[in-house]
Amino acid sequence: METKSHNFKVRLGLFIVGGLTLFVVAIFIIGKQKNMFNPVFRLSAHFYNISGLQIGNNIRFSGINVGTVDNITIINDSTVNVEMLVRKDVWQFIKTDCQVTIGSEGLIGDRFMIITQGSLKALRVKDQQRLQSTEPIETDAIMASVQVTASNAEVVSQQLAEILLKINSGKGTLGRLIGDKKIAENLNQTMVNLKQSTKGFTDNMEAAKHNFFLRGFYKKKIKAAEKLKDDADAEAEKLQNKKE
């Protein structure tokens, strides 16, 4: 009996020690998340809609968790006040022109607050100071916008499919151009005639150069071009001599 009683006391003692250890660890983790063991200062911001933000959500500055949401109160039908606890070791970086907004981990993730970076010339915030806020974009609005975009893309796809179907069926100008062999042959013949006309025009111009009445005109053109070339060569030679 004494052995059983001793074993029971040992198990009870181990259970109590384990429970106390878990309790201390839980208090430490919760306290660390709530910044209970770090010196903090308070900030606040007003929002029209906090989009599911809750007490205890993180506050981020430059992508780093620097505090937590301490309290949320409704001031009136259009204003919600959010109080923040921020670690004092980042106090020097929080400026009076910093702004506060609400973000989320993905489309349906947890909410968190974001303090944007301020300017270098701005003063450091004071304890209990209220920062300017930017209203968050609602997830419902994002999904509605995506749905509208998807609907528009569907309409465009249907219209494009109808156009391609008409082309393949030989309907419309482009469809007849692609499907009708006679139109294609006429187009090829038009291109041939155009090439022949261009060649004839070139031959006529070459013949005009040797014409008695136009010979002087072309000679002047040639002399003017040669003079421009000589002037350019002379200028280039001067520049070369100056460099040497």
What region does 106 belong to: left with phi over 0, alpha with psi -120 to 50, or beta? Answer: left
Token reading at 189: 């013949």
pLDDT (0 to 100) of residue 216: 62
Point out the residues of the chain with pLDDT beneath 50: none
158 half-sphere exposure, CB direction, 13 A CA radius: 6
SS (H, E, C) the chain: CHHHHHHHHHHHHHHHHHHHHHHHHHHHHHHHHCCCCCCEEEEEEEECCCCCCCCCCEEEECCEEEEEEEEEEEEECCEEEEEEEEEHHHHHHCECCCEEEEEECCCCCCEEEEECCCCCCCCECCCCEEEEECCCCCHHHHHHHHHHHHHHHHHHHHHHHHHHHHHHCCCHHHHHHHHCHHHHHHHHHHHHHHHHHHHHHHHHHHHHHCCHHHHHHHHHHHHHHHHHHHHHHHHHHHHHHHHC
Q: How far apart are CA 55 and CA 49, in angstroms?
A: 15
pLDDT (0 to 100) of residue 232: 72
Which residue in this structure is represented by tokens 């806020």? 133
pLDDT (0 to 100) of residue 162: 72
